[in-house]
Each structure stands twice: as C-alpha cells, then as structure tokens.
A and B are shown apart, each in its own frame.
Chain A
Amino acid sequence: MIRGILLGVLAIAVAGTAYWGYQEHQDKNAVLLNAENNYQRAFHNLTYRMDLLNDKIGTTLAMNSRESLSPSLLEVWRLTSQAHSDVGQLPLTLLPFNKTEEFLANIGKFSYRTAARDLDKDPLSDQEYETLKKLYSQSGEIQNELRKVQHMVLKNNLRWMDVELALASGKETTDNTIIDGFKTVEKTVTGYEESDHGVTFANLQKKDENFKKIKGKTISKNEAINIAKKYMKFDGNAEVKVTKNGKGSDYGFYSVSIRNKQTNQEASMDITKKAGHPIWFINNREVSQQKISLNDATNKALSFLKETGFKNLEVFESTQYDNIGVFNFVTTINGIRIYPEAVKVKVALDNGDIVGVSAEEYLKSFQTREIEKPAITLEEARGKVNPNLKVMEDRQAMIINDLNEEVLCYEFLGTLGDETYRIFINAKTGVEEEVEKLKDAEKMYEDVL
C-alpha cells in the first residue's frame, strides 16, 4: 500500500520534473532564437545598406549640380553611419574588423564634409572626384565580399550564435564560414591605403595627438616625483611608485602614484617625459561637507594653476557636483579666448584642496600662436546671428570647427525664450561656425516612483 503511494508520488515527481525541464528548455531556446534573430537582422541590414551605399556613391559620381550632389552625399553619410551601427551590433569585438569600420567612418566624414560645403562656390575638386571614384570601387568590393558571406549564411542556415560561441571560447581559428568571410572583408579593406583618400582626409587626424608640440628636456623618474610633489601632499607615511609607459603608448609618460600607508589614501598622476608636464592628476577622497563656496574654490584653482606654470588662464565654466567643484579654464590672450587650450581642475569644497587636474587637451593644442585681425567687424558678425536671439555678451574666441581647423570667431552669448545659446561667427568669412544650446542642471528623478 505505502509502496504503491510512494511509487505514485515518485512517478508524478519524475513527470513533473520532466515537464519543468522541457519548459525551461523551450524558454532557453526562445531566448537564444531571439538573440540569433537580432544578430541576423543586424547582419542583413548591414549587407543591404552596403548595397545601397555602393549605389548611392555610384549615382553621386554622375551628378554635377549642387542641388543634387549635396542631398546625395548626405544620403551616403546617413547610410555609412547606419551601416556602422549595424556592425556594432554584431558579435565581432574579438575579431579584428576595425579596418572596415574605419573605412565606413572615412566615407562618412568625406561625404559629410563635401555635402556641408557650399558646392556652388567651392565645387568638388578633381582630386575629390578621384577619391569618390575610388570609394565607389572599394565599397563595391566590400559589398561583393559581404554578399558572398550572406549567400553562405542563407544557403547553409548558418547561425550567428555559433560565431559568438566560437569567438568567446577562443576557437576562432576553427573553420567557420562567417568568421572567414568577415576576415576576407577585413583583408580587402586593409589593402586600401590611407593615401587613397585624397587631400580631404589629410587633416582628419586631430592635431598633435602625441604631444609633439611640447618642447623641453626629457626628465628623469626623480624629477617626475618632484613635479608630483607639487600636486600631492607628501608626508612620512607616503609610499611612492613610479612606472614608465608601456610600449603601445604614442608618447612617453611616467605614472606616479602615492599611497598613504596609514589611511590607504591614494593619489595618482601621469607626467609627460618631455618637459614634465602634468597630463592628469586625481586624488580621490571623501568630501562629506561643503565649507567653502564655489567662488573661493575658483580662486584656489586659479592660483594653483599659476603656481604650477599655467599662464593666462581664465575660468569659463564652473560646476558643482555634490561637494566637489569642477572648473574649466581656457587661455585668454588680449581678451581672446583660446577654447582648445582648456585645463580642468577639481577642488574639494571642504578645505579647498586640489583633487584633480586634466591638461590633456591643453597639452595637445598649446602653441605660440599669431592671432590675425578679424576681417569683419563685431556689428557685421552680429548681423549674421539669428535676429530673434537677444545677445547678452560678446567676445572674440578661437575654436576648432567641424573641419578640424582652428578659426578666429566672434562669440555671442544670448537668450531665446528660456534657453541660452552660444554662437560662433567666423571673424574672417562671417560663416556661422557653431551654435550650441547651453545646458542647465537636470531635474532630479529620485522622488519619482
């Protein structure tokens, strides 16, 4: 009797477990299928957009007037950016696919620049036309390779989940059609040399990525420590560590870190080997109470920058995050703000200590410059600004525009409705270089449930 009941219960349990297991299995399959479908969508979108892209570049070649060229180039730009985002959705991070992505980005930049330009005044040059032709044939090759992969995927019912698993387990060397296909695409693109892209690409690189403009002697490890002492307060308990940069860095630097053995407080900074300039500095510590104002902190930051050798700086932005003030300083020469030369400083609002410095941007753009006189007057420039804007402040400023060139501008700060805008008008050509809506603090959502 009891045995019978036990057997019955056991049978039900077994059946129940089996049913539950089956359900779980189904659920897992559904999730996997969903992920697979997302990958498939991104992949097929990519190939579709590469088709369209090739078509569009092809038609652009045949166009002549500005009215048709500009929209067509914009379309190319839109397609490249979408294709780019499709690539980002595929599990290819562990696969070297960078060249293809860079290629897409380059087409995008080229088409945006030519589309944004006034092609009536400044039509496509012969060289740009050649570039466009080359991009057409190159995008054709990529399209072709991708179509081959797509064909194999559809014919053999290949799954992206397998690619992901293969890549994650480090077995990408094993035979996998998709991976091989994408490697071929990458190889094709790697064959396109940088010089193919013509003049417009020449100034694509941001200026002085590698701090080449810095002049001075190479400093030693000990000198680096001495420089770091200006930033961090040393005492008897401090433990100092200095390391050189790794081989992969574009420029030489020392990383100095100091740890207080008692409190475990740690501060770190990187210093350029050449001339010993600070790249960044962070001293992370708890700042629990605000005792000094943002204004006092600004002055502390400014005098600190003076002490450490930064000249002609003016604060142009100050922001409070909890009990820390973050300040953005820029160089000012004869009242002209040089926006690319920016240094950021963090000040603890409890005792005014400097807890952070970031001078990377400053070091990259710092140079002795000759500032030309503006060709148009302030009034002329003001005439180029939207008449609805109520201009409150104006000055001259140097900015880096969309084409990555440094240009002298008139800067206008003004309001339209409740919003504040910053507008830059080129002081030579009168072109509206940049319009920026300035941000205010954001409403907190913490109480919303």
Chain B
Amino acid sequence: MHKKRILIRSFVLLCFLLGTFQIVNPMTGHAFSNQVIQQGAVGDDVIELQGRLKHLGFYTGNVDGAFGWGTYWALRNFQYEFGLPIDGLAGQATKSKLVKATPKYGGAGQGGAAKAQPPKAAAPKPTASNTPKGFSQNDIRLMANAVHGESRGEPYIGQVAVAAVILNRVNSSTFPNTVSGVIFEPGAFTAVADGQIWLTPNETSKKAVIDAINGWDPTGEALYYFNPATATSSWIWSRPQIKKIGQHIFCK
C-alpha cells in the first residue's frame, strides 16, 4: 500500500517538475557561435542558420541541422538580396545581418508562417547526418556489421582495410556489383557463414567504413585477405600478396 502511494507521489512530482521546466525554458533563439559556417557542417549553428533563413522565407527545407545544398542556395540568395558578397559562407557580417533581419525569430521551432506551434522544451539537435555519396546509413550499417564481424580485434587500419576490400570487390569485374552482393556471396566471408556478422557493430567499425567509402584504401587495392593462422584453403596462399596489416595478409 505504502509503496503504491510513494509511486503515485513521485509520479505527480515528476509531472510537476517537467511542467516547470517547460515554463522556465525561454523560447528565444539560441545565439550563433563565432564560427564561420560552411557547407557540410552539422550542428546547432546550422539549426540557427536554417531557422532564421526559413523565418525570412529563403529556406524551404527542414530545419535539420545539416548544411546541405538547400541551405547553401538559401544563404546565397540571402546574401544577394542583402548586398553581401555571395560566397555561400556564413561569416560574421552575414550572421549579424541575418540576426538583424529576424528580430522576431523565436527559435527553430517556429518557421515562417507556422506560428501556433508548441514551445520546445530543449534546444533542438540535428536530425540529419552526412553520408558519403551513393551510400545510405543502412548501407554503412551493413558494411559496419561485416567489418565488425570480420575484424573487430584488428587495429583501426585493419578495419578500414577490410571495408576497402569489400569496396574493391564491388568495383572489380570478377565479383558482384553491390555491397550486399559481395558481403553475402556464399563462402566469401567467414563472419557471414558463422553468423558473427549479426553482432552489433561499434562506432569504430562505422568510422572505418566511412573512411573506406571516402577513398582511404590501406590495402593497395587488394581483393582478398586471410588470416594465415586460421586459413584452411591452400588456394588462398597462391594469391599474390601485397601486404600484411594486423593479423591479415592482403592479396590480389
């Protein structure tokens, strides 16, 4: 009985606290930092930039905190209209002009004509993330799974190398043309065969995959690799070897 009462009390208290939190937190916009914002950036500054540009009607996309092409063109149009040098960079001059032009801007929650929006409790965080060209977050996750399953004990370079081998295979005429085709090719990766691919990958393997996709190939364009301690096939030893990274030998 007692326990129940305490539970109800704490629940009421919690609701109350949350309520006050919402009231206390001001609805004003968060100020720009003094950094120059350029295309490709992600963060609070970009949210502020997008929010203010949207308030003025230059920007029509989502306020997602990632400075993409839409934001770029909006910023350039703003710079053109307000007689600033058109460079697509949000520097000091541009930012102060933008703040002056939007005195009624009340935070990223309010954009353009949509006024009657509920106040946001906390500062909005970016809701989009950059991915390399031609790859979605899911593609990266699948590759990270493979890299983690195959090489989680390896040094970072060794993990980038495994990701690079997957990509080299995709580009090679002797392997399937898609990432999933290469990964799930029967017998190609032991991690796929024994199910280790379904372990949850860590941040390191994700970083390694992004590096490989962005063009880092520590393997010297290898198509195969093997662990000399556990390799069962004698054929793999006949491949011309390029180099050794961690426990793996990489070959053509």
Q: Could you tell me which A residues sit within 8 Å of B by CB distance?
A: 39, 81, 84-85, 88-94, 96, 98, 101-102, 104-106, 164, 167-170, 172, 209, 243, 245-251, 253, 255, 257, 266, 268, 270, 279-280, 282, 284, 290, 292-296, 298, 317-321, 325-326, 342, 344, 346, 356, 358, 360-361, 392, 415, 418-420, 438-445
Contacts and interface: CB of A to CB of B under 8 A. Distances in A.
25 contacts: A81-B177, A93-B188, A94-B235, A101-B173, A164-B187, A170-B232, A246-B242, A248-B242, A279-B220, A280-B216, A282-B160, A282-B211, A318-B40, A319-B40, A321-B210, A325-B40, A392-B76, A418-B70, A440-B66, A440-B69, A441-B42, A441-B64, A442-B136, A443-B62, A444-B128
Contact of A89 (B42, B186, B207): B186
Contacts of B134: 439
A187 to B, nearest CB: 16
* Count class of interface residues, chain B: 35 or more
A402 B210 CA distance: 26
Interface string B37-59: 11111110000000000000000
Contacts of A318: 38-41
Contact of A441 (B131, B160, B173, B234): B131
A231 to B, nearest CB: 14
A94 B133 contact: no
Q: Is the interface of A mostly helix, strand, loop or mixed?
A: mixed
- Minimum-distance CB pairs A-B, first 4: A248-B240, A105-B173, A441-B66, A293-B35
A399 to B, nearest CB: 15
Interface in B187-210: 187-188, 193, 207, 210
B101 interface: no
B121 to A, nearest CB: 15
Nearest to B159: A284
Given A81-B177, A105-B173, A415-B69, 8 more contacts: A209-B221, A248-B240, A270-B218, A320-B43, A321-B130, A360-B217, A444-B127, A444-B129
Nearest to A280: B216
Nearest to A249: B242
B117 interface: no
Given A248-B240, A438-B69, A94 B233 contact: yes
B247 interface: no
Given A170-B232, A249-B243, A443-B127, A293 B41 contact: yes
A316 to B, nearest CB: 10
Contacts of B218: 268, 270, 280, 282
A366 B68 CA distance: 30
Contacts of B62: 443
B241 interface: yes
Nearest to B176: A88
B214 interface: yes
Contact of B38 (A81, A245, A293): A293
Nearest to A266: B155
Nearest to B249: A246
A282 B204 CA distance: 14
B61 interface: yes
A442 B131 contact: yes
B156 A249 contact: no
Contacts of A356: 211, 216
Contacts of A88: 175-176, 181-182, 185
A255 B218 CA distance: 9
Nearest to A392: B73
A97 to B, nearest CB: 8
A296 B89 CA distance: 12
Contacts of B234: 170
B112 to A, nearest CB: 16
Interface in B120-143: 126-134, 136-137
Nearest to B76: A392
A282 B40 contact: no
A209 B60 CA distance: 45
A441 B244 contact: no
B252 interface: yes
B174 interface: yes
Given A247-B240, A249-B242, A444 B35 contact: no
Nearest to B68: A440
A41 B76 CA distance: 55
B167 interface: no
A326 B214 contact: yes
B156 A282 contact: yes
A71 to B, nearest CB: 22
Contacts of A296: 35-36
A327 to B, nearest CB: 8
A39 B185 CA distance: 11
